Amino acid sequence: MRSRRIVVIGAGHVGLVTAAALAHIGHHVVGLDDDAAKVAALQAGVMPFYEEGLQALVDAGQAGGHLVFAGNPEASIAGAEVAFICVGTPGRPNGEPNLVAVEHAASAVARWASRDMVVVEKSTVPVQTAEWVRLVLSRSTRHRFEVASNPEFLREGAAVEDSLRPDRILVGADSAVAHGLLRELYAPIVDAGAQYFATDVATAELAKHACNAFLALKISFANGLARVCEASGADVVAIADIMGADPRIGRAFLNAGLGYGGFCFPKDLAAFRSQATRLGYDFSLLDEVVKLNDEALDAIVGKVRAALWNLEGKRVGVLGLAFKPGTDDIRDSPALRLAGHLMEAGAQVAGADPAAGSSAVAALPGLELADGPYAAATGAHCLVVATDWPEYGALDLARIREVMAIPIIIDARNLLDPEEVAAAGFAYYPTGRPPQKPAAA
């Protein structure tokens, strides 16, 4: 493999992990970001967010001279053979993603390139965005640019692992030059076993949306099923296991609970829905996915109300504030939305989270930050498991029972063992499974 000179534009979750991973496999990478404070922190080895294994990967890249961070586009882009566009594409109120940062990145490449380049979209963008990127790049007549789409499938919390050992790499390009260069660029990862898909650009752009939408669909299906289970006395976890034993269905992403959140699924669903409409197809199934997701959260609020009657004057402990375990990210976190709903209804809410506590409190004024699950449970009339951090599945239930005002647990992630919880003296309300009365002492 030839070591390439790469500029990665945008040092957010995708960009930073991509830059560090490309440096790790032997390329020379500049991580470019227009946030001067973020660049200075990265140069000093301080990560802007927590991600398992990232610190070590970035440290090794910087120490080995394969990875540098910069804020100056001129110096960073000049000399690069490949540019990865990893800037943010936040949702607009109508669901369409805001692609201004993508346009700026393409303009910067057009302006500062010092040679022919391959420009790669890695940010999740609507299908046909490459045509706009190509148009912006064509305004520079000095060099030839090939545009490719190389969507990222990494999960927060497992991003480093997903980048270094992905199950697949997808490259969409319309020229043999771009395909050849990117196939070679990823050679060490493909040789280690990743499946490699080479497609046209539009297929790659759309495939990313299709994947995220389908995963969200599976979660919403499980949540709809949970409602039917609750009405009939069936067990959604057992049904998910039975469904999952069929390889055509698969067990993953069939966990009913508080619904999906995070920076990707809600935004990508809205973006996919609006681009389908723009292209003339009314993909209304996607609306149902979002509706079922909202209902999943409402169902848990309903359970707290059903357990406590009035919420004014009640204290609720919420375990988990991040949008999922293994991350400190609270963007579009269902757990935080739940805490907000309970507070609006008059409850006093004490939340705990192993990683996201301080950002959660900053985002939701009035939320009380508890120092761990036992503090969150202290004096609570009800405890809700809102994010499935593994440590919340191994609580000392006797200790929790001792400190609570009323021993009620609402398990919005089906993390606990129903019989154990009931045996420990709790009224237990899981999701899509039969509730348990406290076992007689």
Q: Which residues bind ligand UGA (CB under 6 A)?
A: 124, 152-156, 212, 215, 219, 253-255, 257, 259-262, 264-265, 268, 323-324
Least distance (Å) between residue 261 CB and ligand UGA: 4
Q: CB nearer to ligand UGA: give 68 or 356.
A: 356
**Lookup: tokens for 69:** 């961070």
Neighbours of 239 (CB within 10 A): 19
Q: Are 86 and 122 in contact (CB under 8 A)?
A: yes
**Lookup: tokens for 385:** 């498991």
Q: CB nearer to ligand UGA: give 204 or 219.
A: 219
Q: Are 251 and 240 in contact (CB under 8 A)?
A: yes
Q: Is 10 helix (H, G, I), strand (E, B) or coil?
A: coil
Least distance (Å) between residue 253 CB and ligand UGA: 4
Least distance (Å) between residue 260 CB and ligand UGA: 3
Q: Which residues, listed in sequence order, are joined to residue 369 by a DSSP beta bridge?
A: 351
Q: Are 333 and 302 in contact (CB under 8 A)?
A: no
Least distance (Å) between residue 431 CB and ligand UGA: 10
State how far the Cα of 146 lies from the Cα of 137, in Å rounded to an integer: 9
Q: How far is CA 211 from CA 90, 124, 166, 216, 324, in A?
A: 19, 11, 15, 9, 19
Q: CB nearer to ligand UGA: give 91 or 259.
A: 259
Q: CB nearer to ligand UGA: give 357 or 432.
A: 432
Q: Are 62 and 68 in contact (CB under 8 A)?
A: yes
Q: Looking at the annotation, which residues are catalytic? A: 264
Using only the alpha carbons of the chain, give its radius of gyration: 24
Q: CB nearer to ligand UGA: give 150 or 212.
A: 212
Least distance (Å) between residue 333 CB and ligand UGA: 7
Q: Are 145 and 106 in contact (CB under 8 A)?
A: no
